[in-house]
Structure 1
Amino acid sequence: MYNHRNPLPPLARAGHIAHVKHALASLPGSQVNLDASRMAIVFYCVGSLDLLGVLQDETTEIDRTSWRRWIWEQYAGGRYGTGFKPGPFMTKTSVHSDQESPHLIMTYTALLSLSILRDDFSRLNRPGVLTFVRACQNPNGSFSSMPNNGGDSDLRNLYCAFCICSLLGDWSCIDVERAIAFVASCRTYEGGYGQLPSCEAHGGTTYLALASLRLAPPGPRARLTPAERARSENWLVHNQDASGGFRGRTGKASDTCYCFWGGAALQILGAEDKLDAYAFAQFIAACQFPFGGIAKAPGQGPDPYHTYLSLAAVAMYAPRLEASARRYGQWEFTPFDPLLNARVETVRWAREHIPARRF
């Protein structure tokens, strides 16, 4: 299998560890545009350490305690329930953010980050979180990032709402069938999904749509017909180009983040065998920055977002490589859950500790 290909370059684990540890302390000025998503940045960084299997070895208990404390400092509540806000950047001395409202995407990333850090969730107001999620659903079934139609409204927020309900084990707060109808309205003739109805098919939102359909509890009819599933699979497969990477949209250049979105979507569809895993890993290897971190494309600068999604992508597909290639290049990972976007062990912890305790 793939013996005729060039050897797979090593995965620069030490450099990637250093990159995300540095980002947990401070971001370079070139990445100031990420400042509004500080909670998500924390997730990309601790998630990368989790994927690489080094969280315990490369951080101290003091570090992990301080990160848990910082995340809980962003827990906010009000008339629309409780959730997590983007927060200030992670420093030893926290400064409160001007944005006090909970945010759906940040609540999803906070729950996963706390699971990675093995929090017991004793401080989580579960009914309050359900109230918050309910307040974010719009009449057309979509979700806004903040309550009462606040912020963006698109498939990103719907996916995060579905993840939160799935982790809580409680879907009573939302109209699931109306949300599913909104997802269907974003489907395009190509088989992909746009961010909103009538938008161009996009790799990221196609993943979000397919993951949401899989996460949803059973409904009165199948979430995807065989024809719809086949069109989505065909569109995704043809977005892997000659470089081994994935395009986000038809005719665009490959990008490592779309390796995750496209690769995970194919896993959800059960079509992972139709992806060229060796070329896939070679493209991601070529995007490694010499001093650590992974970029969107070869020759560009790295950031925590592309580093995490690249590692998540190879965590899904490295098992399809020859054992010798995995060991030689350090491309070995523990099992990954493509639906919730975390290691299987982390998802197990989340599902055991986030739902309401039953006595």
Structure 2
Amino acid sequence: MTDSEASFTTERHVKYYLRCLKTFLPSAYTSNDSNRMLLAYLTLSGLDVLGVLQTKTTPEERSSYINWLYHCQVPTGGFRGFPGTDFGSDRRNKDNEAWDPANVPATFFALVNLLVLGDDLSRVKRRECLKWLPSVQRDDGSFGELVGPDGSLGGARDLRYCCCAAGIRFILRGKGSGVADVPDINVAGLVSFIEACQTYDGGMAESPFCESHSGHTYCAIGALDFLRRSSKDLKPVPLLSAGSSQFEALTTWLASRQTAEIEEPDDEDEEDELPRSLEDPLADQINGLPDTAPLDADTIRCAGFNGRCNKYADTCYSFWNGATLVVGESPRGC
């Protein structure tokens, strides 16, 4: 198939999403049963992006999806990842509630699912959720995933949790939501933690002193964008300020993720050869090519983005890198 003949088979995508939404999930997803809230998000948002959610589902079906989402709401605030941990409100008490916890990613995805379905969030336990949110924040500003037995905090220090927590705060606290008296998270601490995740090469790692990664970079900038949208007193953040050394290092790192290498070389002698970046003349020199060497049409046609230095291209990183550049460079006020 030539480039001129390539097309996006929308109907096949829609058919797959509807299968996941209206029947049993494919058997390959069995091990992800506890992540059903995330799978619902991917399915609903996929149909929404394709512009068919309203036409391919009935009002009754969408109402049932909304009811299922609210069934996953935890009485003390937040949402569980799937109904499997719900042992009923009549049996839930202070001694066993840690075994049916709300978790940060599930809560974020549940709220987004409700919004995608057109719900007004009137049944969300807004105050309870916002009171619960600070309980999953650590002293260093990072967020965990959930509160476990004896008040222990589960989950790594990970920018993914930080982004979801900032998103929950933005959706439920927003502007004039009537919850000003509910204690807020430590916004300054969260910003400080995110800033500490920037590495020597300009990218963002999942936590301080780890390797930079495009997915975590998206989460870092996404979290900061949620905060600047909803925090009127938030001081300018260098990572979002064009001209600052942090911003320039970040955008340079993102642009340098473009590469002409899309798969591992067949020749074993080339195993140690580094992927040649379209933006990095040093990589050309390492590979024995002059930095002015023109790229042929096939190379340019196959160029993609990687997620870490010296890795091969992967389609998902076209989104993580591209979306981060769009969010980071968009001057949005509060």
TM-score strictly above 0.5? yes
The reply to whether residue 240 of structure 1 matches residue 258 of structure 2 is yes
Structure 2 counterparts to residues 182-201 of structure 1, below 5 A: 182-201=193-212
Contact 1:77/1:102 (8 A) holds in 2: no
The answer to whether the aligner puts 1:129 opposite 2:129 as a matched pair is yes
Alpha-carbon distance in 1 for matches of 2:329, 2:102 = 35
Q: Return the offset for 1:207.
A: 0.6
Give me the TM-score of the superposition, normalised by structure 1: 0.67
Could you tell me which residue of structure 1 aligns to residue 6 of structure 2? 9
Shift of 1:113: 0.4
Q: Deviations over 1:88-129 (max 9, x none)?
A: 4xxxxxx65575211111111110100111112221121111
| CA–CA distance in structure 2, aligned partners of residues 259 and 140 of structure 1 | 31
Aligned to 1:50: 48
Q: CA deviation at 1:245?
A: 2.8
Higher relative contact order (CA 8 A, sep 6+): 1
Pick the aligned partner of 1:156 from 152, 160, 163.
Answer: 160
1:182-206 deviations in Å (ceiling 9; x for gaps): 1011110111111111110011100
Q: Secondary structure at the match of 1:40?
A: helix
Distance 1:41 1:7, change over 3 A: same
Q: Is the 8 A contact 1:145 1:153 kept in 2?
A: no
2:285 is matched with none
Q: Which residue of 2 aligns with 1:306?
A: none
Decide whether the 8 Å contact of 1:192 with 1:206 is kept in 2.
yes
Which residue does the alignment assign to 2:247? 229
Shift of 1:70: 0.9
Task: Look up the SS of the partner of 1:152 in the other structure.
Answer: coil
CA contact (8 A) 1:155 1:196 kept: yes
User: Counterpart in 2 of 1:270?
Assistant: 329
Separation in structure 1 between the aligned mates of residue 15 and residue 40 of structure 2, nearest angstrom? 14
> Relative to structure 2, which stretch is displaced further, 260-269 or 242-251?
242-251
The alpha carbon displacement at 1:165 in A equals: 1.1
Distance in 2 (CA, whole Å) between partners of 1:46 and 1:124 is 19
Amino acid of the structure 2 residue aligned with 1:48? G
State the partner residue of 1:19.
Answer: 16
| Post-superposition offset of 1:68 | 0.8
Aligned residue number for residue 144 of structure 2: 144
1:112 alignment partner AA: V
> Scaled by the length of structure 2, what TM-score is found?
0.72
Aligned ranges 1:1-359 → 2 under 5 Å? 6-7=3-4, 9-24=6-21, 25-78=23-76, 82-88=77-83, 97=86, 100-147=100-147, 148=151, 149-170=153-174, 172-216=183-227, 217=231, 218-224=233-239, 226-242=244-260, 243-270=302-329
Give distance in 2, aligned partners of 1:267 and 1:113: 23
Q: Distance in 1 between matches of 2:306 and 2:74?
A: 37
Which 5+ residue runs of structure 2 have no aligned equivalent?
88-98, 175-179, 261-301
* 1:24-60 residue CA offsets vs partner (Å, 9 max, x unmatched): 2322222334222110100000000100110111111
Taking only aligned residues, the RMSD between alpha carbons, in angstroms, comes to 2.2
Q: Which has the larger radius of gyration?
A: 2
Preserved CA contact (<8 Å) 2:72 2:80: yes
Say whether the 8 Å CA contact 2:72–2:81 is kept in structure 1: yes
Percent identical: 32
User: Helix, strand or coil: the match of 2:67?
Assistant: helix
**Distance of 1:194 and 1:107 partners within structure 2:** 23
Q: Specify every segment of 5 or more residues in structure 1 that has no aligned partner in the other structure, as ranges.
A: 89-94, 272-338, 340-359
**How far off its partner does 1:269 sit?**
2.5
- Alignment partners' CA distance in 2, 1:253 and 1:156: 23
Moved more, 57-66 or 38-47: 57-66
Q: Which moved more, 1:249-258 or 1:140-149?
A: 249-258
Could you tell me which amino acid in structure 1 is paired with residue 141 of structure 2? Answer: G
Give the distance between the partners of 1:146 and 1:139, measured in 2 at CA.
Answer: 15
Cα distance in 2 for partners of 1:197, 1:33 equals 31
Question: Displacement of 1:8 after TM fit?
Answer: 7.0
Separation (CA, whole Å) in 1 of partners of 2:31 and 2:203:
28
